[in-house]
Amino acid sequence: MDGIETRPLRDRHDLDAVLRTGFDLIRAVAPGLKCRLVGTAAARLQGVDLPVGDVDILVERRRDVDAVAEALADLPCVTAPQWLASARQYFACYSLHGVRFEVSTVEAPCDEDGWECQGPGPWRHYVTVDWGGHRIDCVRLELRLTTEFLRDRSDRYQPILAHLDAHGADLELLQQSMTVRGIPETLAHLTRGLQAAGKP
């Protein structure tokens, strides 16, 4: 459906309402769905104070996208499930409380570990957050950070860096992700002072 206007999320309470409604609908139709929350919403859910434009859910199979589409069928449809050849994604998008709620596969061949949305990275490196009565698996901040580095969005990567500075980071994972994704030294140096999680 064309012409559906959407808006960014306003605050954490807004994100709460969108996620609770979305996952209530999804779990009613696909209770065992394996997925990862990615993007800025995943960072916000882990406590990072940063702008969130939409909600992005990564799934492994096209039939998982179709299952989510079935669950959200009563919502305004921004993009019906379809193959996006240029992005190598099977993708759908709905408007939930006026916010873009997206679900997709990422089918670009990738054996390297360290990407946020492709290959084994998001399935191996995640944090489970109890939220709105659901346990939501969120991609780790280290992987999200490298995405924001590549997009050169300082209003996103600076809050993530501040959060990792305060709480510690998986330094091995972060280094691996920066190497795999080719993060330039002009940005990689910003991580040099981070401490390993669980250490003083």
Q: How confident is the model at residue 12 (pLDDT cuts 50, 70, 90)?
A: confident
Mean pLDDT of the chain: 95
pLDDT band at residue 76 using 50, 70 and 90 as cut-offs? very high
Residue 105 pLDDT > 90: yes
CA distance 107 to 88: 5
> pLDDT by residue (tens digit) across 168-177?
999 999 999 9
User: Would strands 55-59 and 99-104 be described as parallel, antiparallel, or unpaired?
Assistant: parallel
Q: Which CATH superfamily is domain 12-140 in?
A: Beta Polymerase, domain 2 (3.30.460.10)
The enclosing H or E element of 172 equals: helix 171-181
Q: Is the pTM of this model over 0.85?
A: yes
- Report the alpha-carbon distance of residue 155 to residue 191 in Å, rounded: 16
According to the model, what pLDDT value does residue 2 have? 56
pLDDT of residue 1: 46
Residue ranges covered by each domain of the chain: 12-140
Cα–Cα distance measured from residue 177 to residue 74, given in angstroms and rounded to the nearest whole number: 39
> Across residues 134-147, what is the average pLDDT?
97
Confidence category of residue 131, pLDDT binned at 50, 70, 90 = confident
Residue 27 phi/psi, 5-degree rounding, is -65, -25
Give 120-130 pLDDT, tens digit per residue: 999 999 999 99
Phi-psi category of 123—alpha, beta or left, where left has phi over 0 and alpha has psi -120 to 50?
alpha
Q: Tell me what percent of the chain is helix, strand and coil, each rounded to the nearest 5.
A: 40, 20, 35
Q: Is the pLDDT of residue 200 over 90?
A: no
Question: Is-contact 11 122, C-beta < 8 A?
Answer: no
